[in-house]
Amino acid sequence: MARRIGWAALLAAGLLLPMRVYPVLAADILAWALFATAFDIMLGYTGLLSFGQAAFFGGGAYTAGLLTQRLGVPYPLNALAAALAAGLLALPLMGLAIRRRGIYLAMITLAFGQMVFYVVNEWRSLTGGENGVQGIPRPALGGVDISSSTAYYYAAFPLAVLGLLLCWRIVRSPFGRVLLAIRENDVRTETLGYAVHRYKLLAAVLSCALSGLAGGIWVINHGFVALDAVHWTTSGLVVIMVLLGGMGTRLGPLVGAALVLLLRDFISTWTDAWGVVTGTIFILVILIFRQGIVGTIERLLEARTRPAPAPAPAVEEVASPHRS
Amino acid sequence: MRTTALLGPAAGQGAVQLMHGKVVLAVINDQSGVYADIGGKHGVEAVKMAVEDFVKKYGPNAVGGPIEVLSADHQNKPDVGASKAAEFYDRNNANAVIDVPTSSVGIAIAHVAAQKHRLFLNVGAATKALTNEDCNKYTFHWAYDTYMLAHGTGTEVTKRIGKKWYVVYPNYAYGQDMNRSFSAAIEKAGGKVMLSDATPFPNETEDFSTFLIKARTLRPGGVTVLGAMQAGQDLTNLVKQFNEFGLRQQGINLAIGLLFISDIHSLTPAALEGTIYTTAWEWNLDKQAREWSDRFFARDKTRPSFTVAGNYSATWQYLEAVRRTGTDDPDKIVAALEGYKFNDFFVRNGEVRKQDHAVIHDAYLAQVKAPGDVKEPWDYVRILNTIPANEAFQPLSENTCHMAR
Phi, psi dihedrals of residue B98, rounded to the nearest 5°: -125, 150
| Mean pLDDT value of segment B341-364 | 95
Residues B146, B93 contacting (CB under 8 angstroms) = no
In this predicted model, what pLDDT tens digit does every residue of A219-272 receive, in sequence order? Answer: 999 999 999 999 999 999 999 999 999 999 999 999 999 999 998 888 876 776
The predicted-structure confidence for A289-314, as pLDDT tens digits, reads as follows 888 999 999 889 888 876 655 454 44
Phi, psi of A118 (to 5 degrees): -70, -35
> A76: cis peptide before it, omega within 30°?
yes
pLDDT digits (tens, 9 = 90+) for B116-149: 999 999 999 999 999 999 999 999 999 999 999 9
Contact B216, B188 (CB under 8 A): no
CA dist., res. B123 & res. B103, Å (int) = 10
Please tell me the predicted confidence (pLDDT) of residue B15. 78
pLDDT of residue A318: 44
pLDDT at residue B2 greater than cutoff 70: no
Q: How far is A130 from chain B (nearest CA, A)?
A: 5
| Pairwise CA distance, residues B104 & B126, whole Å | 10
Q: Do residue B78 and residue A272 have CB atoms under 8 angstroms apart?
A: no
Cα separation, B391 vs B344, whole angstroms? 20
- Residues B227-248 have a mean pLDDT of 92
Q: How far apart are the first and last CA of chain B?
A: 38
Checking phi first, is residue B45 left (phi over 0); if not, alpha (psi -120 to 50) or beta?
Answer: alpha
Confidence of residue A63 (pLDDT cuts 50, 70, 90): very high
| Minimal Cβ distance to A130: which of B1, B91, B171 | B171
The nearest CA of chain B is from the CA of A164 a distance in Å of 26
SS (H, E, C) A246-259: CCCCCCHHHHHHHH
Q: Cis ω on the peptide bond leading into residue A158 (within 30° of 0)?
A: no
Q: Which residue among A149, A224, A270 places its CB closest to the CB of B82? A: A224
* Domains of chain B and any CATH numbers: 2-144+285-361 (3.40.50.2300), 147-279+363-396 (3.40.50.2300)
Q: Which of A134, A149, A225 to mutate to test the interface with B (most CBs of B within 10 A)?
A: A134
Instruction: Classify residue B152 by its DSSP letter.
Output: I
In terms of CA atoms, which chain A residue is nearest residue B127? A131
Does the beta-carbon distance from B78 to A222 stay under 8 Å? no
* Whether residue B239 has pLDDT greater than 50: yes
Tell me the chain A residues in contact with residue B134 when contact means C-beta distances shorter than 8 Å.
134-135
Cβ within 8 Å, pair B83-A134: no
Highest mean pLDDT among A12-21, A107-116, B69-78: A107-116
Question: Residues of B at the A interface (Cβ-Cβ below 8 Å)?
Answer: 1-2, 32, 73, 77-80, 82-83, 86-87, 90-91, 103-104, 107-108, 111-112, 114-115, 134, 171-173, 201
A138, A224, A268: best to mutate for the B interface, most B CBs within 10 A: A224
Q: What band does A323 get if pLDDT is binned at 50, 70 and 90?
A: very low
For B78, the closest of A22, A24, A131 (CB atoms) is: A131
Q: Report strand pairing: B225-228 vs B164-170.
A: parallel
- Chain A's closest residue to B113, CA to CA, is A135
Count Cβ–Cβ pairs < 8 Å, chain A vs chain B: 65
**Confidence (pLDDT) at A2:** 80
Q: Do β-strands B341-342 and B276-279 pair in parallel, antiparallel, or remain unpaired?
A: unpaired
Task: Give the gap in angstroms from C-alpha B243 to the nearest C-alpha of chain A.
Answer: 29
Residue B130: partners with Cβ closer than 8 Å, 6 or more residues away: B103, B106, B107, B110, B122, B139, B141, B145
Shortest Cα–Cα distance, B381 to chain A (Å): 33
Rounded to the nearest 5 degrees, what angle is found at the Cα of A159, between the Cα atoms of A202 and B113? 120
- Residue B150's pLDDT is 93
Among B2, B78, B115, whose Cβ lies nearest the Cβ of A226? B78
Using CA atoms, how far apart are residues B220 and A143, in angstroms rounded to an integer? 63
Tens digits of residue pLDDT in B291-313: 999 999 999 999 999 999 999 99
CA of residue A231 relative to chain centroid, distance: 16
Side chain identity at A66, as an amino acid letter? L
pLDDT greater than 50 at residue A315: no
B107: nearest CA partner in chain A: A134
pLDDT at site A65:
96
pLDDT the model gives residue A119: 95
**For residue B91, which residues of chain A lie inside 8 Å, CB to CB?**
22
Q: What residues of chain A lie within 8 A of the CB of B173, using their CB?
A: 130-131
Spatial distance between the Cα atoms of B306 and B303, rounded to a whole number of angstroms: 10
What is the residue-wise DSSP string for B304-330?
Answer: PPHHHHHHHHHHHHHHHHHHHHTB--H
Nearest alpha-carbon partner for A212 in A34, A68, A24, A23: A34
Q: Which of B111, B171, B173 sits opposite A135 (nearest CB)?
A: B111
- In angstroms, the separation between the Cα of residue B201 and the nearest Cα of chain A is 8
To the nearest whole number, what is the mean pLDDT of chain A? 89
Of the ranges A106-120, B8-22, B160-174, B272-286, which one carries the lowest mean pLDDT score? B8-22
Asked whether the beta carbons of B181 and B400 are under 8 A apart, the reply is no
Selection from B1, B5, B2 nearest residue B69 by Cα: B5
pLDDT at residue B12 is higher than 50: no
Residues 6+ apart with CB under 8 A from A285: A243, A244, A292, A293
Model pLDDT, residue A272: 66
What percent of the residues of chain B are helix, what percent strand, and what percent coil, each to the nearest 5? 45, 20, 35
Domain ranges of chain A: 21-319
Q: What's this model's pTM, rounded to 2 decimal places?
A: 0.83
Which of helix, strand or coil describes residue B139?
A: strand
Residue-wise pLDDT for B198-237, tens only, equals: 998 888 889 999 999 999 999 999 999 999 999 989 999 9
Contacts of A40 (CB under 8 A, 6+ apart): A167, A171, A242, A247, A248, A252, A253
Instruction: Return the pLDDT at A307.
Output: 62
One CATH from 3.30.750, 3.30.420, 1.10.3470, 1.10.600 for A21-319: 1.10.3470
Nearest by CB to B104, from A24, A131, A223: name it.
A131
- How sure is the predictor about B240, in pLDDT bands with cuts at 50, 70 and 90? very high
CA distance A282 to A276: 10
Instruction: Give the pLDDT band (50/70/90) at residue B402.
Output: very high
**Band of the pLDDT at A320, cuts 50, 70, 90?**
very low
Distance from CA of A7 to the nearest CA of B (A): 31
Phi, psi of A120 (to 5 degrees): -65, -40
Q: How far apart are CA A214 and CA A217, in angstroms?
A: 5
Among chain A, residues having any CB pair with chain B shorter than 8 Å are 22, 24, 129-132, 134-135, 149, 222-229, 268-270, 272
pLDDT digits (tens, 9 = 90+) for A125-161: 999 888 889 889 999 988 889 988 899 999 999 999 9
Closest CA to B156 of B367, B382, B399: B367
| Full DSSP string of B45-71 | HHHHHHHHHHHHHH-TTTTSS-EEEEE
Q: What confidence score (pLDDT) does residue A309 get?
A: 52
Q: Is the pLDDT of residue B360 over 50?
A: yes
